Amino acid sequence: MKKSAILSALSSQGVLIALALLILFGWLRYDNFLDPFNITSVLRYNSMFALVALGMCFVIMTGGIDLSVGSVAALGSVVSALLSSQGMLIGTLGGVAAGLCVGIINGFVIVKLRILPFIATLAAMLAANGTALLLAHDESVSVSYDGTFVNLGQGDLFGLPVPAWIAVIAYIIGWIVLNFTASGRTVLAVGGNEDASRLMGLSVDRVKFMVYVLSGGLSGLAGVVLASQFGAGQPIEGVGWELFAIASVVVGGTLLTGGVGSVGATLAGVMLLGLIFNVLNFENGLGWISLSAYWQSVIRGLFLLAVVILQSRLTSKEAKA
Amino acid sequence: MSTATTPNLPAAKAFDYKSIMLKNASLLAFLALVVFNMIYTNHFISIQTLNVNLTQVATIVIVGVGMTLVIATGGIDLSVGSMMAISGAIAPLIFLGTAVKISEIHLAVAVAMVVAIGLAGAFGWFNGWLITRFRIQPIIATLVLFIAGRGIAQVSTNGNLQPFKVPEFQWIGLGRWLGVPVQVVIMVLLVIAAAWVLKRSLFGRQILAIGGNENAARLSGIPVASVKRWVYCISGLCSGIAGLVVIAINSSSDANLVGLGMELDAIAAVAVGGTVLNGGRATITGTLIGALIIQLVRYTLLSNGVPDDVAKLVKALLIVVAVWLQRQGRS
C-alpha cells in the first residue's frame, strides 16, 4: 500500500512537472501562447474531456474500465439538444439523465450479472450510439438559440468559460469525495483488493455500481457541454473519447490495476494531452515546420508510451526495493 | 412415496440437457437464425445472399482469428483497426510507385503485400514486446498503438485518399477462386490453420496454458514471453491481411476509415463465439460462428426493414446475453 502510494505521488508530480515544462516551453516560444484568448479556448474545449476523464478516473480506481463514455456523451448531447428549447436547466438535466441511465445499466450488468466491465461497457457503447442515432434521425440536431441553453457552453463567468467552471467544480467535488468520504476510501480499497474489501464488510457492490453511474452522469454532462458549445447535438461525436480519457487518467499516474489514483493529476493529464495539440498548432503557425494535425495522435501515443514504460520501471523498482 | 430418490433423476437429466444447450448456444442461435431467415426473408436461399454475407464477414473473422489467440492468453488487442489502417496505407504507396518505383506490376504487388502485412506483424510484435518486457497491461499497451497507429497511417499518406485501379492487387478483395470470393478462401484457410494450431500443436497448448494460469505456465517451463509476442504478432499479421482486403474492395485507401471500430467487431465475435474472455479456453470455430451470428442478425434486421440504429442496440444486447449465458454454462 505504501509503495504504491509513493509511486502514485511520483507519477502525479511527474505529470505536473511535464505540464509546467510544456507551458513554459509554449510561453517562451510563441508570442500569443498565454493570451487570454488561447487560454480560454483551450479550457473551453478540454473541459468536456476533463469531465469524462473524472468519471473514468473513479472507474479505473475500482479496477474497472468504461468504454462507453464517448457514445454516452454523444447521446447526452443529442438529448440535451432536443430539449434545449425548454431552457438551460431542462436541457442539462435531460442530457445528464440520459448519461445516468446508461451508467445504471452498466452498473447493473457489471455488478449483478457479473460481466467483465470491458465487455459490458463495450455493449453499452454500441447501445448508446444506436440510441443517439435513433433519437437524432441520423443527423446532427441543432440547438435552440432562443433560450439560455447555449450560454452553458459559449458563455463566460468571471473571465473564465462556463464549461471550465463546471469542470473545476466537478473536480473539487470529486477530490473531496475521494479523499474525505467513506465511499471515496472504499473506491480505492475495492481497487486495491476487492476480496479483502468484501471480507472487511465494505459495500463493494454498491460502490462499484456507483462509479459507473457517476461515469455515465459525467459523460452525459460532457455531452450537454458539447451540444451547447457547438450549437448542435452530435450523435456521431465522441469516437475515441474513451481512449483519450483512459490515456489522461494513466498519464496522471492512476494505476490501471486500481487501488491508486489522484483526481488532480487526472486533470493535469487532460490538460497535458490537450496542450500537445495546442502547441502543435502554434508550432505550425511559426512556419518552420508543417506538421499535419495527424501528428497529434502519433505524439499522444508516444507520450502515453513513455508514461506507461516509466510507470512500469518505477513499479518494478519499488517491488525490488 | 418415492420422494427421496426419484426426483433426483429427472433433475439430473434436465441439468445435462441445459448444459448441452448452453455449451452449444452459439451454434444453436446460428441455426435458429438461418431457419428464421429461410421462412421470413425473401430470396434468402441463394448463392448471392451467401456470397454477400460471407464477403462482409470475412475481414471480421480474419481479424477475429488473431484476436481469439490473443484473448486465449488472457490478453486483448485494441490496436487491430489501426494496424489495418497502417497496412492499408503502406501497400498502395508501394504498388502505385509513390514511395518506391517497381516497374513490374506483379512484383510490385507482391512486395507491397509482403511489406504491408509484415509491417503490421512487426507492430503486433511490438505490442507483445511492450506487454512482456515492461509488464504493461495488454489493454494499455495496445491502446498506445490504437492511438498512434492510425496517426502513423495518416501521416504516411498525408491523410489523403489513395484511389487506385490495380486488378493484380484487388484480386485479394474482388477476385474469385472456383466461384468463391478470395477473401472467403483466405478466411477459411486461416480458420482451419488456427483451429489446428490451437487444438493440436504445442504452441496452441502453450497459449491455453498461459491463459489458464500464467504463473503455473512459467513455472512449468513454457517460454511465456516469447509465446505472447508471437500471439500479438499473429494478431498484427491477421490485421494486415484484413487491411489489404478492405482497401481492395473499396478500390481506395483512406487512412481515416480503414479498420475503424474493427476491435469492437472482432472482440464481439470472439465473445459471442464462446471464447472465455479471461483466457484459458478458446474456440476458433466459435469465433467464426460468432461473427456469422452478428452478421446474420444485422442482415436479418436490415432485410426486414429494421433501421441500422436498432440493429446496433440488438448487437449490444446480443453481446451481453452471450457472455452472460457463457457464465451460466460454467457455473
Hey, which bits of A15-150 come out as E strands?
Answer: 141-142
Cα–Cα separations (whole angstroms), residue B281 to A116, A223, B131: 16, 39, 21
Which residue(s) pair with A232 in the sheet? A142
Query: Is the separation of the CB atoms in A261 and A254 below 8 Å?
Result: yes
A109 contact B CB<8A:
yes
Taking an 8 Å cut-off on Cβ atoms, the answer to whether A126 and B145 are in contact is no
A145-158 residue pLDDT tens? 776 777 777 777 78
Query: Is the separation of the CB atoms in A193 and A199 below 8 Å?
Result: no
Q: Which B residues in the span 286-305 are in contact with A, Cβ-Cβ below 8 Å?
A: none
Minimum distance, in Å, between the CA of residue A79 and any CA atom of chain B:
16
Q: Rounded to the nearest 10 degrees, what angle do helices A241-251 and A69-83 cross at?
A: 120
Residues of A in contact with B140 (CB under 8 A): 246, 250, 256, 304, 308
Going from N- to C-terminal start, the domains of chain B cover 48-330
Nearest-angstrom CA–CA distance, B56 and B58 = 6
* Facing residue for B136 by CB, picked from A131, A138, A308: A308
Around Cβ B16, how many Cβ atoms within 10 Å? 9
Nearest-angstrom CA–CA distance, A119 and A121 = 6
B331 contact A CB<8A:
no
Q: Helix and strand tally (H, E) in chain A?
A: 13, 4
Nearest-angstrom CA–CA distance, A62 and A150 = 35
Nearest-angstrom CA–CA distance, A189 and A258 = 9
* Facing residue for A250 by CB, picked from B140, B268, B271: B140
Query: Is the separation of the CB atoms in B197 and B282 below 8 Å?
Result: no
Nearest-angstrom CA–CA distance, A72 and A214 = 12
R_g (Cα) of chain A, nearest Å: 20
Nearest-angstrom CA–CA distance, B128 and B233 = 7
Tens-level pLDDT at each residue, chain A (321 residues): 456 666 666 655 777 888 888 888 888 888 888 888 888 888 888 999 999 999 999 999 888 889 899 999 999 999 998 988 787 888 889 999 999 999 999 999 999 888 888 888 988 988 999 999 999 888 888 777 776 777 777 777 787 888 889 899 999 999 999 888 888 888 888 888 888 888 888 888 899 999 999 999 999 999 999 998 888 888 888 777 887 888 888 888 777 777 777 888 889 889 988 888 788 878 777 766 666 777 777 887 887 888 788 777 776 665 554
A297 contact B CB<8A:
yes
To the nearest 10°, report the CA torsion of B146, B243, B114, B55: 150
Q: Which B residues in the span 22-61 are in contact with A, Cβ-Cβ below 8 Å?
A: none
Count of A-B CB contacts under 8 Å = 133
Taking an 8 Å cut-off on Cβ atoms, the answer to whether B309 and A134 are in contact is yes
Taking an 8 Å cut-off on Cβ atoms, the answer to whether B140 and A131 are in contact is no
Residues of A in contact with B272 (CB under 8 A): none
Going from N- to C-terminal start, the domains of chain A cover 47-272
Taking an 8 Å cut-off on Cβ atoms, the answer to whether B319 and A123 are in contact is yes
Closest C-alpha to A173, from A67, A50, A60, A18? A50
Minimum distance, in Å, between the CA of residue A35 and any CA atom of chain B:
29
Residues of A in contact with B76 (CB under 8 A): 118
* Facing residue for A309 by CB, picked from B134, B154, B155: B134
Give the per-residue pLDDT at A315.
66
Give the per-residue pLDDT at A317.
60
A306 contact B CB<8A:
no
A295 contact B CB<8A:
yes
To the nearest 10°, report the CA torsion of B148, B149, B153, B155: 10
Taking an 8 Å cut-off on Cβ atoms, the answer to whether A118 and B313 are in contact is no
Which CATH topology does B48-330 take? ABC transporter involved in vitamin B12 uptake, BtuC (1.10.3470)
| Pairing outcome for strands A156-157 and A160-161 | antiparallel
Query: Is the separation of the CB atoms in B63 and B88 below 8 Å?
Result: no
* Facing residue for A304 by CB, picked from B147, B158, B309: B147
Taking an 8 Å cut-off on Cβ atoms, the answer to whether A130 and B146 are in contact is no
Nearest-angstrom CA–CA distance, A209 and A150 = 32
Nearest-angstrom CA–CA distance, A18 and A25 = 10
Which residue(s) pair with A142 in the sheet? A232
To the nearest 10°, report the CA torsion of A161, A163, A166, A170: -120
Instruction: Give B256's contacts (C-beta < 8 A, 6+ positions apart).
Output: B150, B154, B159
As a 3-state breakdown, chain A gives helix, strand, coil percent values, each rounded to 5, of 75, 0, 20
Around Cβ A6, how many Cβ atoms within 10 Å? 13
Q: Which B residues in the span 75-114 are in contact with A, Cβ-Cβ below 8 Å?
A: 76, 78
Closest C-alpha to B224, from B137, B128, B125? B128
Which residue(s) pair with A90 in the sheet? none
A279-294 core/surface letters (b: 16 or more CB in 10 A; e: else): bbebbeeeeeeeeeeb
Query: Which H/E stretch holds residue B177?
Result: strand B176-177
Taking an 8 Å cut-off on Cβ atoms, the answer to whether A122 and B315 are in contact is no
Q: Which parts of chain B sit beneath pLDDT 50?
A: 1-12
* Helix (H/G/I), strand (E/B), else coil: B180: strand
Taking an 8 Å cut-off on Cβ atoms, the answer to whether A126 and B264 are in contact is yes
